Amino acid sequence: MSVWPAWAVREGERATRWFHVRLAFTDGARVEGLVTVSEDGMGVEDLRARPALSPDDLAAFADWIEEPLARACGAVAQPPGGSGGGAHRRRAAPPRGTEGRRLAAHEYRAAQREGADPVLAVMGATGHSRRGALRLIGRARDAGLLTPRHARR
């Protein structure tokens, strides 16, 4: 499951954010979509599935993406006895150092196997910008976790 931001539109105090969503199943099935999130809730703008989804699976799509989408929006589970409704939510920090390089290498290879953009996969997994993700991928290559980008002469 991968979720990464596409863009956001702000109208006064209201904001609507779009996210790319990708589900890959072990049997090779894939579902990709464009989802909106606003104060009014979640909406599916575009959806592609191979093979096609049954009506029951289509109805379950929102359940499949609810938790990863909430994480991408920065929502975290409230502690027992939670705080008030005005509490700010923060995204958990991605692992640093060796663990961060291992995570980047894992996501990069998984995206390559699926035929997806590896840099976007690392961006989604770590929360880094494109430049930060590329820097992290370079560090993973330097550490020997990924193959070299270009053959040395």
Query: HSE (CB half, 13 Å, CA atoms) of 32?
Result: 8
Contact 35, 69 (CB under 8 A): yes
Q: What is the mean pLDDT of residues 134-140?
A: 89
Q: How confident is the model at residue 57 (pLDDT cuts 50, 70, 90)?
A: confident
Cα separation of 25 and 47, whole Å?
16
Tell me the pTM: 0.44
**pLDDT per residue as tens digits for the range 64-105:** 777 777 777 665 443 334 444 333 344 455 667 788 888 889
